[in-house]
Amino acid sequence: MKITKICCIGAGYVGGPTMAVIAQKCPHIQVTVVDLNAERILAWNDENTDNIPIYEPGLDAIVAEARGRNLFFSTEVDKAIDEAQIIFISVNTPTKTYGKGKGMAADLKYIELCARQIAKVSKANKIVVEKSTLPVRTAEAIKSILDTTGNGVQFQILSNPEFLAEGTAVQDLLSPDRILIGGDPSVEGQKAIQALVDVYSNWVSPEKILTTNVWSSELSKLTANAFLAQRISSINAMSELCEKTGADVNEVAKAIGMDSRIGSKFLKASVGFGGSCFQKDILNLVYIAKSYGLNEVADYWEQVIIMNDHQKRRFSNTIVQTLYNTVADKKIAFLGWAFKKDTNDTRESAAIYVANDLVNEQAKIAVYDPKVSRKKILADLDYLETRTAEENANSILTFDDPYLSCEKAHAVAVLTEWDEFVNYDWQKIYDGMQKPAFVFDGRNILDKTKLEKIGFVYQAIGS
């Protein structure tokens, strides 16, 4: 099958960058990204690519190159579905906030709506690709909806999970470790797999394209995220032990990372992992394991989340205890709000939970993040429903200038590892702060010796 038109439902952190790169690398394929959110589509179409809704290094240039040529952003969902031979589903699958599986299972209502819409609109055979992370066997549900509510046309369902990490999405898409495509073993299924393999082959070498059955592909995505998150919780667990014993977690991470069986990546102790994937996917895994009665498996993975929650809480407790057991009416400057550097995404960011704890203690939080707006910060806190929006707005100050956010602060807390924080004029920050001036480095990025020489009381994670 020769692919000339692709549609992607969902213009978010996954759909947007993935389709931009496919369009850049496959100029012969027309790629249309659709979304119900008209404001988001408008932003993707903004003449000035600085204003596209997602900040990812390098993405603006790719959008500028391909947009209008073979990359389009639109709210005309039906038209794009109708025209395309391949439809990617990249809509959000948040953790359920209601009903059965509340707080654990993935909410598949957006996926189901997409499937029903594809079924209704399609007048020719199509390949439907799951891009969003989904519970194992979701493809089966999508297939059942498509086959029973459609117009009698044939659908092939593929699972093609996204492994990009935010902040490095463009690089991850341009040179992926692997592309995973799961499909049906039937002849038709294999043809569909080949059609998608051909798309990726425009820039990815064949040995990096892995094909499996659908369930293996779906479960591999959950497993990869569970393993990655587990490494962070493992090193964070050791960070607490290091603090008690006088070991240094950075030294421990380096020592174990040189063992080629362990490897050096993803061993950075921190205030806790965030992001839209890790927690959601592990909760999902736990829920699936429980639903099969595999309680030991479920408990094993749940511990990764329990450890992460503990790490976030431990960070806020340390701040309160160190500031003489009270932060009431004290200004605490937050450097960073995003869940990691080089992204404006704040989903599940540790900063939200640490701020929430400190506001409970009546602190005033002064946030500076190079890419996150005040509106977003307040929306994140309001979402926790701990207090009224007005109370949150009164407790959170936001600044466009990092030095102003630190002025007269009792403490600075580093919540995101933005590179720029390292090179600030720390003497200037010290001069403007209350004394003793405390720094709580939740990312272990600052120079302890330099800061202590200036006069700061410096506290890192795990040393």
Question: What residues make contact with ligand UDX under the rule CB under 6 A?
Answer: 162-166, 225, 228, 232, 266-268, 270, 273-275, 277-278, 339-340
Give the active site residue among 8, 26, 242, 277: 277
Angle at 207 between CA 205 and CA 211, to 5 degrees: 110
Residue 32, SS3? strand
Of the candidate spans 7-15, 223-231, 328-336, 437-445, the one that interacts with ligand ADP by CB under 6 A turns out to be: 7-15
Using CA atoms, how far apart are residues 358 and 316, in angstroms rounded to an integer?
Answer: 7
Q: Residue 436: is the preceding peptide bond cis (ω within 30°)? A: yes
Residue 35 annotated as lining a ligand binding site:
yes
- Interaction of residue 284 with ligand ADP, rule CB under 6 A: no
CB 183 within 8 A of CB 73: no
Count of residues touching ligand ADP (by CB under 6 A): 21
Give me the least distance between CB of 68 and ligand ADP, in Å please: 21
Rg over alpha carbons for the chain, rounded to the nearest Å, is: 23
Residue 92 annotated as lining a ligand binding site:
yes
Of the candidate spans 13-21, 135-143, 227-235, 396-404, the one that interacts with ligand ADP by CB under 6 A turns out to be: 13-21
Residue 285 interacts with, from ligand UDX, ligand ADP, none (CB under 5-8 Å by kind): none
Using CA atoms, how far apart are residues 243 and 238, in angstroms rounded to an integer?
Answer: 9
Using CA atoms, how far apart are residues 159 and 134, in angstroms rounded to an integer?
Answer: 9
Give me the least distance between CB of 425 and ligand UDX, in Å please: 25
Ramachandran area for residue 444 (φ above 0: left; ψ -120 to 50: alpha; else beta): left
Residue 88 annotated as lining a ligand binding site:
no
Residue 399, SS3? coil
Give me the least distance between CB of 97 and ligand ADP, in Å please: 15
Residue 163 interacts with, from ligand ADP, ligand UDX, none (CB under 5-8 Å by kind): ligand UDX
- Interaction of residue 378 with ligand ADP, rule CB under 6 A: no
Q: Is 235 exposed, middle or buried, given 0-12, 13-18 or 19+ CB atoms closer than 10 A?
A: buried
Q: Has 277 been annotated as catalytic?
A: yes
Q: In 122-264, where does DSSP find H-type helix? A: 138-149, 169-174, 187-200, 214-245, 249-257
Nearer to ligand UDX among residue 165 and residue 210 (C-beta)? 165
Give me the least distance between CB of 300 and ligand ADP, in Å please: 26
Residue 14 annotated as lining a ligand binding site:
yes
String of contacts with ligand ADP for each residue 27-66, x by CB under 6 A? -------xxxx--x--------------------------
Residue 246 annotated as lining a ligand binding site:
no
Q: Could you tell me which residues come within 8 angstroms of residue 4 by beta carbon, excluding any fewer than 6 positions away?
A: 28, 29, 30, 85
Q: Please give the positions annotated as active site.
A: 277
Binding footprint of ligand ADP on the chain (CB under 6 A): 9-15, 34-37, 40, 77, 90-92, 110, 113-114, 132, 276
